[in-house]
């Protein structure tokens, strides 16, 4: 994601006292192409705007890091590093929902076959056609009615995301316990989502998030372990052979469940906590990485004349 040669100390020193975020126009994981699937898109809304979704993890960890007090800097850096990664998860899952919705109206710019002779075939609904009739069949009509075949900040039942989901008590042990519960529930729900569709677009993102939730369970479990907790054989939650799922196995074989990056240009002390044997007690070793992931290109969405977007 970042070229380390461009990440010299002089540039960093300029920002050292600031609190700000930088963005690279890349996705944290690849989204393969498959057929649109508005039902799978709606299921995935739970992972975006649900009580245990990516919007919640992003806001919870950012608020915990904004509100941190005292000198527990490695713990603050750890929570903040995960929080910044969560911004990219929100982007990944919203973009995946967009790909699963885009084109679900099946409108291919031909006036839905009802264009009168002499009228432009590019005019949506020409001649009284109904290029958006699919909206009456999808699980959440807002995906086509309120948004232009795109993601919404809601859960799979259409409930708006709520700031009251965010837990940031200021007590480090309590916050870490809650974060572990949040990651474990997120992973549980994504494992259920995996079993709902084999659409390649859907599966790639769900599998990546299962593996990163695994890593984040390790992050918060390791931090709690450093404060005195012994996990035994409890982790990860849910505890099953995730390598049985080929998309998940491919990511775990790359060690993506054991790495954590901080996404900070000015360095991080998270490695003081996130290192050594995994709290899963499976013989694996944790790694706090200095090099951010390279990321994957973000495809622009095409124009959708039947949604009058962008025009």
User: In the structure encoding, which two tokens stand for residue 286, read together?
Assistant: 């944790």
Identity of the residue, 165 or 266, whose beta carbon is nearer to Mn ion in the bound complex: 165
CA distance linking residue 138 with residue 275, whole number of Å: 46
Q: Which residues, listed in sequence order, are joined to residue 309 by a DSSP beta bridge?
A: 304
Q: How far is the CB of 187 from Mn ion (least distance, A)?
A: 9
Rg, Å, the chain Cα set: 22
CA distance linking residue 217 with residue 220, whole number of Å: 6
Q: How far apart are the first and last CA of the chain?
A: 33
Identity of the residue, 89 or 143, whose beta carbon is nearer to Mn ion in the bound complex: 89
Inter-residue contact 109 to 122 (CB < 8 Å) = yes
Contacts with 20 (C-beta within 8 Å, 6 or more apart), sequence order: none
Identity of the residue, 46 or 86, whose beta carbon is nearer to Mn ion in the bound complex: 86
By CB under 5 A, name the binding residues for Mn ion: 57, 86, 89
Helix (H) or strand (E) holding 287: strand 285-289
What's 222-272 look like in SS3?
HHHHHCCCCCCCCCCCCCCCHHHCHHHHHHHHCCCCCEEECCCCCCCCHHH
CA distance linking residue 260 with residue 282, whole number of Å: 18
Q: How far is the CB of 64 from Mn ion (least distance, A)?
A: 15
What residue number has its CB nearest to Mn ion?
89
Identity of the residue, 86 or 307, whose beta carbon is nearer to Mn ion in the bound complex: 86
Cα-based distances in Å from 162 to 92, 166, 183, 290: 20, 8, 18, 34
CA distance linking residue 194 with residue 202, whole number of Å: 8
Q: How far is the CB of 209 from Mn ion (least distance, A)?
A: 6
Q: How far is the CB of 59 from Mn ion (least distance, A)?
A: 12
Identity of the residue, 75 or 208, whose beta carbon is nearer to Mn ion in the bound complex: 208
Identity of the residue, 58 or 135, whose beta carbon is nearer to Mn ion in the bound complex: 58
Identity of the residue, 57 or 140, whose beta carbon is nearer to Mn ion in the bound complex: 57
Q: How far is the CB of 234 from Mn ion (least distance, A)?
A: 20
Inter-residue contact 310 to 282 (CB < 8 Å) = no
Q: How far is the CB of 52 from Mn ion (least distance, A)?
A: 10
Q: How far is the CB of 57 from Mn ion (least distance, A)?
A: 5
Identity of the residue, 91 or 102, whose beta carbon is nearer to Mn ion in the bound complex: 91
CA distance linking residue 282 with residue 71, whole number of Å: 32
Q: How far is the CB of 153 from Mn ion (least distance, A)?
A: 16
């Amino acid at each position: 994601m970042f070229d380390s040669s461009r990440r010299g100390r002089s540039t960093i020193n300029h920002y050292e006292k600031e609190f700000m975020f930088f963005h690279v126009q890349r996705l944290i994981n690849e989204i393969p192409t498959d057929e649109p699937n508005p039902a799978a898109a709606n299921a995935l809304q739970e992972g975006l705007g649900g009580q245990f979704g990516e919007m919640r993890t992003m806001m919870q960890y950012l608020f915990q890091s904004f509100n941190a007090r005292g000198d527990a800097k490695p713990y603050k850096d750890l929570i903040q590093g995960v929080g910044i990664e969560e911004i990219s998860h929100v982007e990944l899952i919203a973009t995946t929902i967009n790909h699963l919705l885009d084109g679900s109206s099946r409108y291919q710019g031909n006036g839905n076959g009802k264009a009168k002779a002499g009228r432009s075939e590019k005019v949506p609904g020409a001649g009284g056609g109904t290029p958006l009739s699919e909206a009456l069949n999808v699980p959440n009509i807002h995906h086509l009615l309120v948004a232009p075949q795109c993601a919404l900040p809601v859960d799979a039942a259409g409930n708006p995301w709520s700031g009251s989901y965010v837990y940031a008590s200021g007590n480090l042990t309590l916050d870490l316990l809650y974060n572990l519960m949040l990651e474990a529930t997120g992973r549980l729900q994504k494992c259920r989502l995996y079993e709902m569709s084999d659409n390649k677009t859907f599966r790639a993102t769900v599998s990546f998030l299962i593996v990163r939730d695994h890593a984040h369970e390790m992050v918060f479990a390791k931090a709690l372990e450093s404060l005195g907790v012994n996990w035994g054989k409890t982790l990860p939650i849910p505890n099953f052979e995730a390598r049985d799922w080929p998309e998940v196995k491919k990511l775990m074989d790359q060690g993506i469940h054991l790495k954590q990056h901080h996404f900070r240009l000015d360095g991080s002390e998270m490695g003081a906590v996130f290192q050594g044997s995994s709290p899963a007690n499976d013989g694996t070793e944790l790694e706090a990485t200095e090099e951010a992931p390279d990321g994957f290109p973000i495809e622009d969405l095409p124009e959708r004349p039947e949604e009058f977007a962008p025009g």
